[in-house]
Structures are given as C-alpha cells and as structure tokens.
Copies of this chain bind each other. A is one copy, B any other.
Amino acid sequence: MTDPAAALREILGPKGWLSGHDAEPYQRDWLNRHGVAPLGVARPADTSEVASVVKVCREAGLAVVPQGGNTGLCGGAVTEQQNAVIVSLSRMTAIGKPDLDSGSIAVEAGVVLAALHEALEPHSLMFPMHLGAEGSARIGGLIGTNAGGSQAFRFGMMQDLVLGLEVVTPDGAIWDGMRAVQKDNAGYQLRKLFCGAEGTLGIVTRAVLRLYPTPRQQAGALLVMPDFAAAVSFGAFLRAEAGEFLTGLEFFCDLGLELALKHLPDLSYQLETRGDVYLLVELASGSQRVPLDEILGSALEWGMEQGLVLDGALATSGARRAQFWRLREEQPEGQRLEGDQLKHDISVPPGAIARFIEAGAKVCDDILPGVRINPFGHLGDGNIHYNLSPPEGRADFDGKAGQFAEALSALATEMGGSFAAEHGLGRAKIAMADRNRGPVERELMARLKGALDPKGTMNPGVLVRPPQ
C-alpha cells in the first residue's frame, strides 16, 4: 500500500495538504482541552476531493475528523488518535445565488456564518441563525452540531433551517440531497439525521438553507426583573401578545452583569435599578404598519403593573439596542476574565426555568458552599448556559467539576430537559449521555452509527462510544 500521506498530497496539492508545523493550528479545540497531532490536515477544494480523501483514509485505516470553524465546546472537531486526518472544509466557501422567490440558498460547508449574513444583506433576505461564534463558525460545523443560538425559539435550530444536504458518506460515496423544499417525505429524513451527527456519519459538504425576509423595523428593551419566576411569566405573556415579532428573549443575572461591568471597562449599564434578573427583548417586523414600540411599551407597562418588571428601557435607536445586546453578549467574556469557570449547557421546558435555577442553586451550594452561579441564556427555549465561578476568595472548584456536571445534568434530565442543549456531546459528554439517557436510546444511536459507518472511521470517539 502506498503511503496515505503521499496519496493525499497528490490528490489535494500543496494548498490542500498540511502536515507538521502547518497542521498545528487545526490540532487543538477552542477550549484547548482536546486534540493531538493528526497525520495531517486535508483541505479539499470541492466535494469530489472530500470523497477522495475519505476513500484514501478508509483504505489506509485512518480516522477522518471533519472540522469547520473549530469553535465547538465539546471537542468534537479534533482527534485524540494520531492515525487520523482532519478534513477542514475551510476552502469550500462558495455561496450560491439566493433564490429570492423561494427564500433559499445553496452554500458550501466551509462558509463562515457571518459571511453568509453579509452576502445576503443586499437581497433583503436573512439566515436567522445568530450565535457568539458567528465570525468563525462554518455552516458545516453548525449543521454537524445542530447549532441553536438566540433566535432558535423563533426560527428553529439548524435542523429546522436545512432544506437540503450533500454529504460524503463514510464509504466515500456522495449523497446528493440538495433539494430546496421544506416538504420532502420521500423516506427517512436523512437531512435531519445528519444535523447534530457531529461528523460521525459522514461529512457535510453543501447545504440548501432556508432564508427569511429581512425585517424592516425592530424594537428592543432591557428589563429589570425581581426574579426568574417573573421572567418566566413575562416571557409567556410576551409570547401570547407579541409572539410573531419576538426574535430575542435573552436573560442574564446580576452576578453576570457585575462581572461584565467589572472586567470590560467600556461597558456601561445606564438604568437606575438593579434586579436579580435582566431580560433583553427584541421584536422585528417586515411591516412598517406594526406599532412595535407601542406593543413593547405596553407589554412593559403591564409587566410593571403586575410587579413582574422593576424597571426597563426601550431602545430608542439601533445604537442603543446594540448597547443593550452587548450587556448580554459580554457575559461569557466577563466571566472568563474573572478566572476559573465551569460551563454547563442545559435546557429545561421554558416554564421550568425558575424551578431549575432554584433547585440548581441548592445543589451547587451543597457541593461547594459559596460557589457563584451565573446562568444566562435563551428564555424562549429554556436554554440555560449555567456557568459557575469559584466562591469569593477561591481560585478553583476544589476538584469538584465532575460533581457539578453530574448533579446539574441529572437535574435537567429529571425536569424533562437536556444536559446537552445546543453544544452537542463531542468527546466531552459521552459518559454523561450514557448516564442520563437510558440504554435503549444509547443502543439506538450505536446502531445508527454501526449502520452508516460500520468500520467506525468517521470521527471516532465522538457522540457514541466505539465498540470495545
């Protein structure tokens, strides 16, 4: 058998095959927790090159690890074994012409989310996926992890926004599922199955995405609430009263605000009142005839009358809205700058958020008294980024990271939610999945993996445990 590295260099050319020092930037995950040096990094220029790479690796018995923007938080896009090839989609960045009448667009998997947003702007169309990593995250990775983000409660997760897919299978065959229709019930929903499969069933190379018209007006407000119960009640009221317009419903806590203000000196909070919880509301409409500000203002008034809202301010301009959003968006950075932290990606039914926060606080304080709890996230879909900082005066968690993760995941499971809401399992959460999800579920997943990737060469060690 020929040297697979030589064969890959031959197929891909010098721009398409990186090894040694050149491969290093691809090696570690974003949190710098996972990853050893691969045999090399393949950077194919098109789908047929991806297929060729997969075939060579298959014959040579090499693992294949697809990588998008490498912004994942669970270590799913790097390798823990050396006889592996990372397949970076970063050279496949073509963006098709949007279909204006249909509201869809075909893109290659390596397109960066922010680049797609930009490309759509002149067409008055938008792709409604927004998340912190959008400047680096690539479409293929977003599909592989079934990304959610801040507008998922309104427009859906990636699985809801993908109309068609092209995938290179673990055999190196190309599945052309690039249809551009929502309604396609011609068999199993493969396009959905590959969303969230984290590259373990094949490599997504292209996709047809669903687009929405860009709204012509927006309104926003920052609200100060006494507690989570109030936030939940107000959220339910807003869904009924302004559900069609609601594009943002983000929450954060006073501790998170405090940390962000402390560590990011250019950040400012301009309301007079502080509360336990803050809610960031955003409405948008395609029609100029909708009195968005009035709708939001009167909801705010109602909330104050009911005692659900302590204080609030409407964003009177786009600049003001951006200021409000930064308070939420800088939450992760503020906490990071505070020192050591633990992150948990929880979801619970939106109505159960307050109960989760209360029960979670008790659980955490039992594990490490004084641990500082900083949940923020997406109220509309119950997605809580439940982050911890050490107790005041401590620099670490006394080795209790596993205990926190265990207890919080069990609590989310018990409440009908998930311990892996939008970040996926990757390498980091397989054991947690085995514990929290019954054997029937894990067995079904193992069987799917075995059926589509019988040799287990596609992103091994991610999502499901390899057979012993």
Contact = CB atoms under 8 A, between A and B. Distances in A.
A102 B240 CA distance: 12
A184 B190 CA distance: 18
Given A160-B160, A187-B463, A182 B438 contact: no
A192 interface: yes
A276 interface: no
A182 B416 contact: no
A102 B382 contact: yes
Contacts of A289: 290-291, 294-295, 298
A188 B196 contact: yes
Interface in A224-271: 232-233, 235-236, 239-245
A315 interface: no
Contacts of A444: 169, 175, 188, 190, 452
Contacts of A420: 184-187
Interface string A392-426: 00000000000000000000000011111111110
A422 B244 contact: no
Interface stretch (A15-23, A322-330, A332-340, A429-437): A429-437
A191 to B, nearest CB: 9
A66 to B, nearest CB: 16
> Taking the full assembly, how many copies of this chain does it contain?
2
B185 A189 contact: no
B382 A183 contact: yes
Contact of A186 (B201, B350, B437): B437
Contact of A244 (B232, B245, B416, B423): B245
Interface residues of A, number: 103
A186 B198 CA distance: 11
B181 A381 contact: yes
Contact of A193 (B193, B291, B347): B193
Which of the listed residues A103, A236, A421, A464 has the most CB atoms from chain B within 10 Å of its own CB?
A103
Contacts of A419: 186
Contacts of A440: 169, 173-176
A179 interface: yes
Interface string A143-173: 0011010001100110110001000010001
Contacts of A425: 185-187
Contacts of A464: 187
Which of the listed residues A169, A212, A349, A417 has the most CB atoms from chain B within 10 Å of its own CB?
A349
A287 interface: yes
A451 interface: yes
A101 interface: yes
A177 interface: yes
A351 interface: yes
A416 to B, nearest CB: 4
A179 B286 contact: no
Contacts of A152: 182-183
Given A159-B189, A189-B146, A295-B287, A181 B441 contact: no
A42 interface: no
Contacts of A451: 447-448, 450-451
B99 A185 contact: no
B382 A349 contact: no
A103 B380 CA distance: 10
Contacts of A145: 185
Interface of A: 99-104, 124, 145-146, 148, 152-153, 156-157, 159-160, 164, 169, 173-190, 192-193, 195-197, 201, 208, 212-213, 232-233, 235-236, 239-245, 285-287, 289-291, 294-295, 298, 347-352, 378, 381-383, 416-425, 429, 433, 436-438, 440-445, 447-448, 450-452, 463-464
16 contacts: A99-B349, A101-B232, A160-B160, A174-B440, A177-B441, A179-B418, A182-B381, A188-B448, A189-B193, A190-B444, A192-B192, A192-B195, A213-B240, A239-B286, A447-B452, A448-B448
Shortest Cβ-Cβ A-B pairs, 4 listed: A101-B351, A451-B451, A102-B351, A102-B349
